[in-house]
Amino acid sequence: ARLALVAERYGALARRMGVELICLSEEALGASGVAARVRELTGGRGVDYCVVLAPDAGVAARAWDLVAPGGVLNLFAGLNRGTKVPLDLNPLRDGRQRRIVGSSGSRIEDLAGVLEKACSRVLAPEQATVAVTGLEGARQALQGVAEGHYPGKVVVYPHARGLPLTTLSEMAARMPAVAARLGEGGVWTREAEEELLRECLGMRDA
């Protein structure tokens, strides 16, 4: 269900950027099925850049096997101290020249560059938003994120009183004017945020 939501929300955006978004899951295909599909899609070469977003040794090991020659495995989620991952390290030293990184390694200049791209709308970080809430729904939001119920970010607006935890898919029923300002694929936008705050501040003043 989460992958279907990702495909629905970001598929159109990917196509506009000339990218085909393909969503696979081990739950549906099994680990070997995912690996086979990746090999098929890449002509047997593997992926150039693989980001592991789950702090799991097994996932990291399976991801390493899918990295192409000259490719990078980014253990973005990290692993608990003392965790052992069974990896064949030969690709690090032989002709395959794979690499492993454990963090983004961002410098201050990198962070400034990201902010600049966000301000110029080259990047749209608000599209990671999947739900919004006022302060009264913050605890529920934190618990939901911790338990993996949301495939993205939940934005808490402390001054938006009377705003329960609301996913973007629920917005049309709860706040139609806000839903009308969502972007293609039902993604969050600055215009939707402005309308949300307008309505919530109005509720607060009522």
In this structure, the answer to whether residues 101 and 129 fall within a common structural domain is no
The tens digit of pLDDT for each residue in 165-204 reads: 999 999 999 999 999 999 988 999 999 999 999 998 875 4
Higher pLDDT, 5 or 132: 132
pLDDT band, very low/low/confident/very high, at 105 (cuts 50, 70, 90): low
In a domain, 35, yes or no: yes
Distance between CA atoms of 205 and 66, rounded to whole angstroms? 56
3-state secondary structure the chain: CHHHHHHHHHHHHHHHCCCCCCCCCHHHHHHHHHHHHHHHHCCCCCEEEEECCCCCHHHHHHHHCCEEEEEEEECCCCCCCCCCCCCCCHHHHCCCCCEEECCCCCCHHHHHHHHHHHHCCCCCHHHHEEEEEEHHHHHHHHHHHHCCCCCCEEEEECCCCCCCCEEHHHHHHHCHHHHCCCCCCCCCCHHHHHHHHHHHHHHHHC
In this structure, the answer to whether residues 63 and 101 fall within a common structural domain is yes
In a domain, 120, yes or no: no
In a domain, 116, yes or no: no
In a domain, 114, yes or no: no
Q: What is the pLDDT of residue 111?
A: 83
In this structure, the answer to whether residues 50 and 34 fall within a common structural domain is no
pLDDT band, very low/low/confident/very high, at 48 (cuts 50, 70, 90): very high
In this structure, the answer to whether residues 36 and 51 fall within a common structural domain is no
Q: Strand 129-134 relative to strand 166-167: parallel, antiparallel, unpaired?
A: antiparallel
In this structure, the answer to whether residues 178 and 146 fall within a common structural domain is yes
In this structure, the answer to whether residues 10 and 64 fall within a common structural domain is no
In a domain, 115, yes or no: no
pLDDT band, very low/low/confident/very high, at 154 (cuts 50, 70, 90): very high
In this structure, the answer to whether residues 37 and 50 fall within a common structural domain is no
In this structure, the answer to whether residues 129 and 193 fall within a common structural domain is yes
How many domains does one find in the chain?
3
pLDDT band, very low/low/confident/very high, at 104 (cuts 50, 70, 90): low
* pTM, rounded to two decimals: 0.56
The tens digit of pLDDT for each residue in 56-66 reads: 899 999 999 99
In this structure, the answer to whether residues 139 and 70 fall within a common structural domain is no
Q: What are phi and psi of 200, to 5 degrees?
A: -70, -40
In this structure, the answer to whether residues 134 and 199 fall within a common structural domain is yes
In a domain, 142, yes or no: yes
CB atoms within 10 A of CB 139: 12
Domain that holds residue 83: 46-105
Residue 110 has pLDDT above 90, yes or no: no
In this structure, the answer to whether residues 140 and 159 fall within a common structural domain is yes
Q: What is the arithmetic mean of pLDDT over 106-115? A: 84
In a domain, 112, yes or no: no
CATH number for the domain that contains residue 80: 3.40.50.720
In this structure, the answer to whether residues 97 and 151 fall within a common structural domain is no
